[in-house]
Chains A and B, each alone.
Chain A
Amino acid sequence: MKQFKHLIKPYIVWSVILIVIPLLLIALYAFTEEGNEVLTLSFTWGNFAKFLEATYLNVILKSFKLGLITTFICLLLGYPLAFIISRFSERVQSTLILMVTIPMWINMLLRTYAWMNLLADNGIINHLLSFLGISPVTMMYTDFSVILGLICNFMPFMIIPIHTSLNKMDKSLIEAAYDLGANKVQTFVKVIWKLSIPGVVNGIMMVFLLSISTFVIPKLLGGGQYMLIGNLIESQFISVGDWNFGSAISLILAVIILIFMSLMKKMDKQDE
C-alpha cells in the first residue's frame, strides 16, 4: 500500500485549491465589511447581525418548513417503495432500482421545466381538468408546486439508501423472527424497521440537505418572488452584489447543516 501513498497528493492539491481556499475566502468575506482593500481588512459581526432581521429569519424558517415537509413525504412514499422493491428477486430489483434512478439521468432543469408545463394555469393538467368540467386550479408559483418539484427531484436519494439497508439485511433474521413467534407486523416493527434505520437516517439527511439548499427548483416553480435560503444566497451574490452578507448566510447554512448531520448521526448510533 505504501507505494500508492503518493497518489493522494494530486487530490490534496485539488481539494486545497477548490474547497479549502474558497471556504476560507467565504469565511473572510463573512466576517469583514464591504469595500476592503487586500491589506486593510475591517472585521465585523454586522453581516450576521443583519441576518437576525425578521425578513431573513422568515426565509430560513420557510426553507426549513419546506425541507421538513419534503423529507417527510419522501420518507412516507419512499420507504414502502424501497420495501416492496427489496422483496423481489435480485434481477427484478436491479431493474426497478434502475427505473428509480432513470429520471436522474435527465438534467434537473429540464425535468423542472416539464413540471412548469404540466402545472401552469393553461398547462396540461388544467386542460385535462377542464375536459372534466372542473375550473382551472392555480398550481404554479405556490408551496405546492415547489414541494412537488423537490419531492420529484430528491425521491431517489431517499429510496436508494433505504433499499440498500433493506437489501443487505440478512433474510434469515426475518425468518428467525417468524420462527420465534412474530407475525408479519411484529416482524416488521421489531426487526425490519429497526435494522433499516441507518438507511432511513441517510435518506433523511440527503433529502433534507438537498431540499434546504436548492435554489433552481424554487426559482422556477416558485417564481421570482419565492425566497428560500438558497435563493437568498444566490440573490446576494448575483443581483444585490453584497458578497459579505451572502458569505455570512452561506456560513450559517453550513453550520446548521453540520449540527443537523451530527444530530442524525447520534440518533443513528443510539439505535444501533
Chain B
Amino acid sequence: MNKLIELKNLTKNFDDQQVLRGINLDIYENEFLTLLGPSGCGKTTTLRIIAGFEEPSDGQVLFNGIEISKLPPYKREVNTVFQKYALFPHLNVADNIGFGLNLKKVDKSVIAQKVERMLKMVGLEGFEKRDVTLLSGGQQQRVAIARALVNEPKVLLLDEPLGALDAKIRKQMQVELKKIQQEVGITFIYVTHDQEEALSMSDTVVVMNNGEIQQIGSPTDIYNEPENRFVAGFIGESNIIEGVMIKDYLVEFDGFQFECVDKGFEDMEEIEVVLRPEDLDIVDPEQAKITGIVRNITFKGVHYEILVETDLRTYMIHTTDYAEAGREVGLKFGPEDIHVMCKMGAY
C-alpha cells in the first residue's frame, strides 16, 4: 500500500493552549483509520488540519508527498462528513449532494446520474426532491456521506459522524460505513471517542490523549497489547497492576511471580500489567496464587461482573460462572492473559 498522507511533527496552539504536541502519522491508501481518544485529546483538530479548516502551528501535512498545510480546503482532494451533518437547509437532497459537482460545472444530466447512484449506495433511492430538514438523523447522515463521496475524493474525513444517532441506528450505520468504504475503495479517516466503534470498523486505530499519539495499531493489537496504562484503561475495561519484570517471560506483581509471554524489557524494570476482566476465571482458592473475597456480583446479560477484593486491590472479573458475595475465591489466568506494558511517565 502507498502512503497517501503523512503528518510530520504536527503541533497546534490555540491561544496559549497546546492542543497537538507533535503528531507523526502515516496514512495509507484504502485504509480505514480511526483517531480515538477522549474529548479534548486533539483528534478533531488533527482531522480539521487534514481538511484544511485549521493551519498547524508547526509541522507538515504531506499529501502524495506534497506539502498542503497552507492549501485552502476547496483545493484539497478530501471531503468531510461533519458531526452534525451540516446539510444546506435551503437545498433539497439532490441539490445538497450535487453541490460540489455544480461548482465544478459538471453537466446537469451527469450530476443527476451521479446523485442517483449515490442515493442508491446509501439506501435512499427516490429521495431526490425531499427537504433535508425533514429527514431523520440517520437519513441526514446518509445524505451527508453521499454529498461527500459524490466528489470522488481520495480521502473521506468523518468527524464523529454517528455521535448524534441512537444506539440501534449507530450499529447499523457502522456496518454500512465499513461496507461503503470497501465499495468505493478510498481512505477513511474516522474520528470517534467510542472505543467499540473504533475496534469494530477500523484497519488501524490511533489512540490519542493530551495532544499526543499513545499507540498506533490494528484493533487486536490495541486491545490485546496496549502499550501503556492510558490505552489499556481507555479501550475496554481492565485491571491495571504495578509490577516488576524479573527477566524475560517472568513478571512479579501482588507478591507472586508469574510466567508470561512478554520479553524485551530490562531485568527488574518497573512495569504495569493489564489483566482483562474476561481473561480472569473464578476458581477454588487452593488452585490459585491470588485469592480474595467476592464483594459484589452484577448480572450484565451475557456475563456476570464480579468484584473480588484481595489484600492489595479489587479485581474486576467478567465470567459466566456465578459466585455469591462473601465467598473466598481464587483468580486464575494463564501466561498469555498477562499483558505487560511500560510504566507511564507522569503527565
Residue ranges of A at the interface with B (Cβ–Cβ < 8 Å): 170, 172-173, 175-183, 186, 190-191, 194-195, 271-272
Residues of chain A within 8 A of B78, CB atoms compared = 179
B1 at the interface (CB under 8 A from A): no
A187 CB to closest chain B CB (Å) equals 8
Q: How far is the CA of A183 from the CA of B103 in the complex (A)?
A: 9
A176, A182, A186, A190: the one contacting B86 at CB < 8 Å is A176
Known interface pairs A178-B74, A180-B147, A182-B74; A172-B82 also in contact (CB < 8 Å): yes
Docked-complex contact A179 and B80, CB < 8 angstroms: yes
What chain A residues lie within 8 Å of B148 (beta carbons)? 179-180
Q: Is there an interface contact between A186 and B103, defined as CB atoms closer than 8 Å?
A: yes
Are A195 and B89 in touch, CB under 8 angstroms? yes
B52, CB-defined interface residue at 8 Å: yes
B119 at the interface (CB under 8 A from A): no
Contact A178 B72 (CB under 8 A): yes
CB–CB A194/B73 < 8 A:
no
Complex: chain B residue closest to A175, CB-CB: B53
B99 at interface by CB-CB < 8 Å? yes
Q: Check B79 for interface membership: any CB of A closer than 8 A.
A: yes
A182 touches B103 (CB 8 A): yes
Residues of B that sit less than 8 Å from A by CB: 51-53, 72-74, 78-80, 82-84, 86-90, 99-100, 103-104, 147-148, 151
Q: Which residue of A lies closest to B97 (CB)?
A: A180
| Chain A residues, CB < 8 A from B99 | 177, 180, 182, 190
Complex CA distance for A106 and B57, rounded to whole angstroms: 47
Contacts of A178 in B (CB 8 A): 52-53, 72-74
Partner of B151, one of A180, A190, A271: A180
Q: A175 touching B90 by the CB < 8 A rule?
A: no
Rounded to whole angstroms, the CA-CA distance of A170 and B133 in the bound complex is: 14
What residues on A are CB-neighbors of B79 within 8 Å? 179-180
Q: Are A175's CB and B74's CB within 8 A?
A: no
Q: Does the CB pair B84–A170 fall under 8 Å?
A: yes
Closest to A187 in B: B74
What 4 A-B pairs have minimum CB-CB distances, sorted nearest first?
A: A180-B100, A176-B86, A172-B86, A178-B73
Q: Which of chain B's residues have a CB closer than 8 A to the CB of A271? A: 90
Q: Show 18 A/B contacts (Cβ-Cβ < 8 Å), sorted by A.
A: A170-B84, A172-B82, A172-B83, A173-B86, A175-B73, A175-B82, A176-B88, A177-B99, A178-B52, A178-B72, A179-B79, A180-B74, A180-B103, A180-B147, A181-B100, A186-B103, A190-B103, A195-B88
A191 to B147 CA separation, bound complex (whole angstroms):
15
Whether B90 lies near A179 (C-beta < 8 A) is no
CB-CB under 8 A from A183, the residues of chain B are 72, 74
Most chain A beta-carbon contacts within 10 A, residue among B79, B87, B99, B148: B99
Question: Using Cβ atoms and an 8 Å threshold, which residues of chain B touch A182?
Answer: 74, 99, 103
In the assembled complex, the Cα of A1 lies from the Cα of B103 at a distance in Å of 50
Task: Kindly provide the distance from the CB of A92 to the nearest chain B CB, expressed in whole angstroms.
Answer: 15
List 7 additional contacts besides A176-B80, A195-B88; criterion CB under 8 Å: A176-B86, A177-B99, A179-B51, A179-B80, A181-B151, A182-B99, A272-B89
Residues of chain B within 8 A of A172, CB atoms compared: 82-84, 86
A179 engages B84 (CB within 8 Å): no
B147 to A, closest residue via Cβ: A180
Give min CB distance, A240 to chain B, whole Å.
50
